[in-house]
């Protein structure tokens, strides 16, 4: 088991031995530093707190400055906890993790925040078909149609698919194959797409199946 924090750099293609193009995502993975070690005796559970992407001290709140200073690491933008069993390593505050915690051929789960689309209608948000294009329905092409009964139950049910905010949700891309690891550059290349926009923070961990 391994885990690390990273940043999405963008997508590219890699060609296999047969010349087939494989769409891939390039991730800047680490270096991450252990900013805290939580124990069952003191905190009720065992976990490592990782920090990633160095931050200027003057942009960091005083309590956070003290927290990072106690661990002997520099302030960071992204902080995330992983259970000890997810990491599978014996670590202490200040230890660093780099892209080489994974190797080519590993399967990983990648967690990120999906791209925000703003307010979207039912055709874009839920793939509705829209209304008929004929018989004078010039203003109903992308409308949702009936929302519920008239006399009974005289309301729309909770959870009904309607227009609304789309995106900006936590999404997990599961069982992505690690195609290449460039340890010197702290880069991991995984097969397929991962959630989020360019420079979005990601949590990469060994696939759970």
Which CATH number do you get for residue 112?
Answer: 2.40.30.10
Instruction: Give the domain range for residue 8.
Output: 3-117+171-206
DSSP-derived secondary structure letter, 115: P
**Residue of 173, 23, 205, 29 whose CA lies nearest to 106:** 205
78 and 36 housed in the same domain: yes
Q: pTM of the full predicted structure?
A: 0.83
Is residue 9 domain-shared with residue 70, that is, in the same domain? yes
Residues 51 and 66 both lie in one domain: yes
How many structural domains is the chain composed of? 2
For residues 93 and 29, membership in a common domain is answered with: yes
Q: Verify that 10 and 87 share a domain, yes or no.
A: yes
Q: What is the CA radius of gyration of the chain?
A: 23
Per-residue pLDDT of the chain (209 residues; tens, 9 = 90+): 788 999 999 999 988 888 899 999 999 997 999 999 988 899 899 999 999 998 898 898 999 999 999 989 999 999 999 888 777 778 888 888 999 899 998 999 999 999 999 999 999 999 998 888 788 777 888 888 888 777 888 888 888 999 999 999 999 999 999 999 998 899 999 999 999 999 999 999 999 87
CB 32, CB 95: distance < 8 Å: no
At 85 the pLDDT is: 78
* Same domain for 138 and 104: no
pLDDT at 87: 78
Please give the pLDDT value at position 108.
94
Determine the pLDDT at residue 187: 94
- Is residue 41 domain-shared with residue 84, that is, in the same domain? yes
Q: Does one domain contain both 134 and 84?
A: no
Q: 106 and 188 in one domain? A: yes
Are 53 and 33 within one domain? yes
Q: Which of 27, 34, 10 is nearest to 110 (CA)?
A: 27
Distant-in-sequence contacts of 159-164, Cβ < 8 A, 24+ apart: 161/122, 161/125, 161/126, 161/128, 162/122, 163/119, 163/120, 163/121, 163/122, 163/125, 164/119, 164/120, 164/125
151 and 89 in one domain?
no
Q: Are 193 and 27 in contact (CB under 8 A)?
A: no
Residue 177's φ and ψ, nearest 5 degrees, are -85, 135
Indicate if 35 and 83 belong to the same structural domain. Answer: yes
* Burial bucket for residue 77 (CB in 10 Å: 0-12, 13-18, 19+): middle
């Amino acid at each position: 088991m391994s885990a690390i924090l990273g940043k999405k750099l963008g997508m590219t293609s890699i060609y296999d031995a047969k010349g087939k193009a494989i769409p891939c995502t390039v991730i800047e993975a680490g270096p991450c530093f252990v900013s805290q070690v939580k124990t069952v005796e003191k905190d009720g559970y065992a976990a490592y707190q990782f920090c990633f992407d160095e931050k200027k001290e003057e942009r960091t709140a005083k309590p956070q400055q003290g927290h990072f200073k106690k661990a002997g690491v520099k302030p960071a933008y992204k902080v995330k906890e992983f259970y000890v069993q997810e990491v599978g390593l014996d670590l202490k505050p200040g230890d660093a993790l780099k892209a080489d915690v994974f190797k080519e051929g590993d399967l990983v789960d990648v967690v990120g925040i999906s791209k925000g689309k703003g307010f979207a209608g039912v055709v874009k948000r839920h793939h509705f078909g829209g209304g008929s294009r004929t018989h004078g329905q010039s203003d109903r092409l992308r409308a949702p149609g009936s929302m519920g009964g008239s006399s009974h139950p005289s309301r729309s049910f909770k959870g009904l698919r309607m227009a609304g905010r789309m995106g900006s949700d936590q999404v997990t891309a599961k069982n992505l194959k690690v195609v290449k690891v460039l340890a010197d550059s702290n880069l991991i290349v995984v097969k397929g797409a991962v959630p989020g926009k360019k420079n979005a923070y990601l949590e990469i961990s060994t696939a759970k199946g």
